[in-house]
Amino acid sequence: MALKEWAFGLGEWKTVAGAGFCAVLLGALAGSASADDALKLTELSPNGADACFGRVYDAAHLKAHPKQKVARIFFYYGHDPVSRPNEEPTGNSDTSYNAFIATTVRGAKSPEWAGGWCNHASEDGKTGPVHCGMECDRTLASLKVDDKGRLFLSDLQPDIYLDVGSEEELGAAEYDRQALGSEDDNFRLDPMPAATCQAEFARIDPVAAALGAPLRERLKPDQAFCYGRDYDAAHLGSHPDQLTQSIRVFRGKVELASFASGGDTANWPDGADIAVTVTTRQKSAKVTQTYSCQGEADQWRCAASTKMSDFSCDIAQKEIFLKRGANGTMMLANPNSALAIVDLCSKADAGKTKSDDKVYRLKPMPQSACSP
């Protein structure tokens, strides 16, 4: 199942394969299995080392196969080549994947990827064809290696990077646009140095050095912080649909005490409480909402909580997203009206945000600026 991530500045959702609910569920079921335990397929890795296979198609091949979208494909068997500095807890990382695929379609600037587990498709797990599965009992690929060491990859599903049931959700036309093509299967990949695959996977989401350290490193579990912004009359005049006049995102004594009493620092920032205070044009009084966060890819995904909040209804589905910004700033995305600029308990507020109150660039402020 793919992970939905808010693309800051683009005003849209983007899909990040290789994570999601089923991955979390099956990661728990898989226990403590690791790539070290799983590198037992001698066909792929005769000496137990990480193995790389790949192919880059030239213009002549792609012209002769108009229904093939994939221009570059790489298969990596071994340790995770995708991990990078991000917001996911270091103590809760899933190391059970042993197979990773990256494909770049025509015209794309970077690859998409998915991970899974490869084993012999037999009761004893030692014989028969090699099958690679994904979360939610999906197929990643079937594999075969010839006497020249080339990898033949088949059963690659067109919706490998899409959510389960996405065809019905997206509609036929959009599904066809996002899915792989009808000729994107039965690939013959050549053996390559492991470093070649590692470099290919590094293209997926290059680390933006200008953004600095992830929030989970920048903001410690026992550290109070305050970020915010006050909008002047000139800004509000040029953004007539923006309701927010002042906004603060912070962890204070109450939030620190909450994490200290029940949080797990090894899984930081999972379980971190943050508070968001908003003042709108219509109301001079501040409204405060608490959110409980978890690290997800390169963002904190924070669900609204009734704890220490001005609302008491079931608002767990109201979410905001935090990311690190340039020059020490923090980006906050509110794609689904999840800020307390309106009554979060109102059923009328079930739709997407239609105002300018979607994305905020917040600056660090002294803790006194976030005092209740």
Predicted pLDDT at 29: 32
* Nearest CA among 49, 355, 345 for reference residue 197: 49
Cβ atoms of residues 65 and 185 within 8 Å: no
**Domain spans, the chain:** 3-207, 215-370
Phi, psi of 224 (to 5 degrees): -80, 150
Q: How far apart are CA 295 and CA 283, in angstroms?
A: 33
SS3 312: coil
Predicted pLDDT at 169: 80
SS3 257: helix
The letter for the amino acid at 250 is: F
Cβ atoms of residues 73 and 55 within 8 Å: yes
Q: How far apart are CA 311 and CA 1, in angstroms?
A: 32
Q: How many CB atoms lie within 10 A of CB 175?
A: 16
Q: How far apart are CA 43 and CA 146, in angstroms?
A: 9
Taken in order 14, 16, 21, 24, the sign of the CA dihedral is negative
Predicted pLDDT at 33: 41
* Nearest CA among 270, 245, 272, 244 for reference residue 257: 272
Domain 215-370 maps to which CATH number in 3.40.50.12160, 2.40.128.20, 3.40.1440.10, 2.160.10.10?
2.40.128.20
**What count of Cα atoms within 13 Å lies in the side-chain half-sphere of residue 28?**
5
Q: How far apart are CA 239 and CA 17, in angstroms?
A: 35
The per-residue pLDDT string of the chain (372 residues; one tens digit each, 9 = 90 and over) reads 344 455 554 444 454 444 343 533 333 333 334 444 445 788 898 888 999 999 999 999 999 999 999 999 999 999 888 876 688 886 555 557 899 999 999 999 999 999 999 988 776 666 778 999 988 888 999 999 999 999 999 999 999 988 777 888 888 899 899 999 999 999 999 999 999 999 999 888 777 778 888 999 999 999 999 999 999 999 999 998 888 999 999 999 999 999 999 899 989 999 999 999 999 887 777 888 889 999 887 899 998 887 766 666 666 668 899 999 989 999 999 877 778 776 666 655 545 566 688 899 999 999 999 976
Predicted pLDDT at 76: 96
As a whole number of Å, the CA-based R_g of the chain is 23
DSSP conformation letters of 212-241: -S-HHHHS-TT--EEEEEE--HHHHHH-TT
Burial of residue 215, with CB atoms counted within 10 A of its CB: 0-12 exposed, 13-18 middle, 19 or more buried: buried
Beta bridge partners of 264: none
Peptide bond into 364 cis (omega under 30): no
Question: Parallel, antiparallel, or unpaired: how do β-strands 51-56 and 12-16 relate?
Answer: unpaired
Cβ atoms of residues 310 and 288 within 8 Å: yes
Beta bridge partners of 248: 228, 277
